[in-house]
Structure 1
Amino acid sequence: MKPIKFNEPFMTGQELKYIQDVFEQKHFYGNGKYTKLCADFIKTRLAVKNVLITDSCTSALEIVALLLRNKDVNQEVILPSYTFSSTASAFARAGFKLVFAEVDDKTMMLDVNDVKKKITGNTTAIVVVHYGGHCADIKAFKNICDDNDIKLVEDAAQAFDCFLDDTAIGTFGDFGCFSFHETKNLHAGLSGALVVKDDTIINRATHIWERGTNRQEVLKGLANKYSWVEIGGSFYPTELQTAFLYAQLTHIEHNRVKRQEIHNEYFANLSILRSDDLLSFPDFPVGFKSNYHAFYVLFNTEEECDVVREYLNEKFIAAYIGYVPLHSSPVGKSMGYLEDSLPITEQMSKRVLRLPLHNNMEISDVKRVSEIVGESINA
């Protein structure tokens, strides 16, 4: 029986062509031709002015945390516990207090009402995580942030090239952080990008990105002395990575079309089980254009989820749980959180199952996965 992998990295066939060009250019370390090409592509695609190509989404988040940190005051960020550790670690490392909020039990993304309850005078930012090619209630969060003079950070690691009412996800807030890890739709093995909306702080962001120095200003002739001007880090990728990424970006439409076909087939095949209340999965909001990053389902109990996952694995189909909540992790507990601090997150995280979705899948693979999900529920 043919195994169905959870993910297979997307390949265009053009990656080696651009990597060979890097060898011919003899510029390897980063921030060269292909870094600029990728940044320009993203600027045009997302209709934004300021983009920094990073070596990961983690680095993009860390740059944001360094930009927002004021060591002279106590600062808090509100974020979901249901997310990857990088979302929290970036702000914890910078010295922010982490305030975890509940998720909506239908989407697994931040719950607007719970976030409102957790805003204090120390709240500096709300970090919204867009999950699985869907979007959080980003307009509501933007209104909350505007009303309370709070920064809005979008962790759009899984949402590059998603749009709501023709506005790119990751550009509603003050900052948008994207991932090009090989588990994402488009990738460079490991890479990312940061969108900075405020023109007045892009120079600071660039300093942080450039190891805390004003090197870019010196190279452009805008400064005559190289100096250490910010607490920064080594946050940009090599030209080998961005050459690979550029090959991927230029095939973005092909990637989306194939993933949409797979997603739509899952939707059609599993809708019967949803109508019978055996499982659920979220619909896209009106006006939303997805990148079809993932297809995830929610079961009525943890036990049902485990049965289906184990049955799929027995049939050589790789399906995985989502995130393990951060609040009840060892680090979360060291911050004073308990498992029942966020009961909805704790409960629902154990009912999530992500099904295989990648560009090498065929429609017949989706039918097989869907049939086995049905078999396992009805067994």
Structure 2
Amino acid sequence: MYEIPFNSPYFTGNELVYLQDAQKRGRLSSNGEYTRKCQHFFESRYGFERVFLTHSCTQALEMAALVLDLGPGDEVILPSYAYVSTANAFALRGCSLVFADSRPDFPAIDETKIEDLISPRTRALVIVHYGGMSCNMEKIIELSIKHDIYLIEDAAAAIDAYYLDSNGEEIPLGSMGHMATFSFHETKNISCGEGGMLVLNDVSFIDRAEHIWSRGTNRKSYERGLSAAYQWVSIGSAFAPSEINAAWLWAQLEQIEHIKNKRKIIWDWYDEHLEALFENFGIKRPTIPEFVRQNYHLYYLTCTGLEQRQDLIEFLQSRGVLAVFHYQCLHLSPFFREQYQGEPLYEAEKFQNTLLRLPLFVDLDRNQLQGLIQGGK
């Protein structure tokens, strides 16, 4: 056990109240009152056209691949420095995966390297807003339109984060692609243990998504009185989570501003205090591009190499602080490396070997953390 764990899920105090209320309403399966409240929250707050809660962001990505009817022969471009779910959702459909490099200054996809990867078989571009921090969206949207390819925002960690466009407008992450996916895993700012969400910003996909979300049935149109019978009309699966998850999530959403503000205090403390601690070792603080308006999901350092990062991990562990590295490049993974035929992805591999994430959660005690790092046990 560590005195400072890497993560500790936040408890608002209303989660159990809403669970009891859901039970009293007599419905704990999917698509009840709390599911509707959560979905309406996102649609009204961020202007998303339609939202579907799912069991996880992984499922939301899989659902996106089904909605777009992607399959063998289709190419999907995505970053190599990403979680395996981003790739798995499309590999499961038999798509060919085309991996892109990261920016030199930041772990997100390098928007200048995408166009050379587009071919006549490219159907979709999946970008990942790393750690709730935006990709450079205007160039990416331009490429999506120019080449007529679907744009999917993997916004797993990007709840209540924004992109600052060239006109100075803050645009919610998840609202710019044809679709977007979010996570409510316990490591995320807003959580319900396990949970996710598919966002549709193109209304032409809504009917198909409703069928897929409802196990391939016309349940939604039947409930609206638009169909005479409840029937199997499409492929689909049990993507909708229970009211138990939705009730827990609603308690978190009520506190979204408080949670973000508390995390910002910790993020700012790191940024103000760590340079002096590590400046003589070549360890760097995050570089945040000017177009990013983040949600303070994570704080990372970049070390000079693998050996230094491991030394820093062990140093922090000896002080009772758990810090962890992040993604391993997907193009170099045991599953994919024999298939990969592209160029070396130097920047993604750099972040694989040098990036280290520090603990960041709402109830983190900064005084305790400082005492452990500077004074030891």
- With normalisation by structure 2, the TM-score equals 0.93
The one of 354, 357, 363 equivalent to 1:354 is: 357
Question: Is 1:200 the equivalent of 2:204?
Answer: yes
Amino acid at match of 1:232: G
State whether residues 269 and 367 of structure 1, in contact with CA within 8 Å, keep that contact through their aligned partners in structure 2: no
Look up the SS of the partner of 1:318 in the other structure. Answer: coil
State whether residues 56 and 190 of structure 1, in contact with CA within 8 Å, keep that contact through their aligned partners in structure 2: yes
Structure 1 unaligned segments of length 5 or more: list them.
none
The one of 159, 167, 170 equivalent to 1:166 is: 170
Change (3 A) 1:70 1:184: closer
Distance 1:369 1:51 in 2: 43
Change (3 A) 1:162 1:5: same
Count how many residue pairs are aligned between Structure 1 and Structure 2: 371
Change (3 A) 1:325 1:38: same
My pick for the range that moved more, 87-96 or 344-353, is: 344-353
Change (3 A) 1:360 1:37: same
Q: Match of 1:269?
A: 273
Amino acid at match of 1:351: T
Question: Is 1:289 the equivalent of 2:293?
Answer: yes
Look up the SS of the partner of 1:132 in the other structure. Answer: helix
Q: Match of 2:55?
A: 55
Structure 2 unaligned segments of length 5 or more: list them.
164-168
The offset of 1:44, in angstroms, is: 1.7
Q: Match of 2:233?
A: 229
The offset of 1:333, in angstroms, is: 2.2
Q: Match of 1:128?
A: 127
Question: Is 1:78 the equivalent of 2:81?
Answer: no
Change (3 A) 1:178 1:326: same
State whether residues 106 and 281 of structure 1, in contact with CA within 8 Å, keep that contact through their aligned partners in structure 2: no
Q: Match of 1:14?
A: 14
The offset of 1:308, in angstroms, is: 0.6
Q: Match of 1:31?
A: 31
Look up the SS of the partner of 2:207 in the other structure. Answer: helix
Change (3 A) 1:298 1:163: same
State whether residues 180 and 192 of structure 1, in contact with CA within 8 Å, keep that contact through their aligned partners in structure 2: yes
Look up the SS of the partner of 1:241 in the other structure. Answer: helix
State whether residues 132 and 296 of structure 1, in contact with CA within 8 Å, keep that contact through their aligned partners in structure 2: no
Change (3 A) 1:137 1:371: farther
Q: Match of 1:153?
A: 152
Amino acid at match of 2:131: G
My pick for the range that moved more, 26-35 or 128-137, is: 128-137
The offset of 1:46, in angstroms, is: 1.2
State whether residues 266 and 366 of structure 1, in contact with CA within 8 Å, keep that contact through their aligned partners in structure 2: no
Q: Match of 1:312?
A: 316
Q: Match of 2:333?
A: 329
State whether residues 286 and 299 of structure 2, in contact with CA within 8 Å, keep that contact through their aligned partners in structure 1: no
Spell out, residue by residue over 1:202-228, the C-alpha distance to the aligned partner (whole angstroms, 9 max, x if none).
110111111111111101111112222
Distance 2:340 2:370 in 1: 45
Q: Match of 2:5?
A: 5
State whether residues 69 and 96 of structure 1, in contact with CA within 8 Å, keep that contact through their aligned partners in structure 2: no
Distance 2:60 2:212 in 1: 10
Spell out, residue by residue over 1:49-90, the C-alpha distance to the aligned partner (whole angstroms, 9 max, x if none).
21111111011101111122255x721011011111110000
Look up the SS of the partner of 1:207 in the other structure. Answer: helix
Q: Match of 2:67?
A: 67
Distance 2:311 2:279 in 1: 20
> Over the residues paired in the alignment, what is the CA RMSD in angstroms?
2.0
Look up the SS of the partner of 1:218 in the other structure. Answer: helix
The one of 183, 187, 204 equivalent to 1:183 is: 187
- With normalisation by structure 1, the TM-score equals 0.93
My pick for the range that moved more, 24-33 or 165-174, is: 165-174
Distance 2:277 2:98 in 1: 36
State whether residues 320 and 372 of structure 2, in contact with CA within 8 Å, keep that contact through their aligned partners in structure 1: no
State whether residues 105 and 287 of structure 2, in contact with CA within 8 Å, keep that contact through their aligned partners in structure 1: no
Distance 1:202 1:43 in 2: 14
Distance 1:108 1:350 in 2: 12
State whether residues 82 and 103 of structure 1, in contact with CA within 8 Å, keep that contact through their aligned partners in structure 2: yes
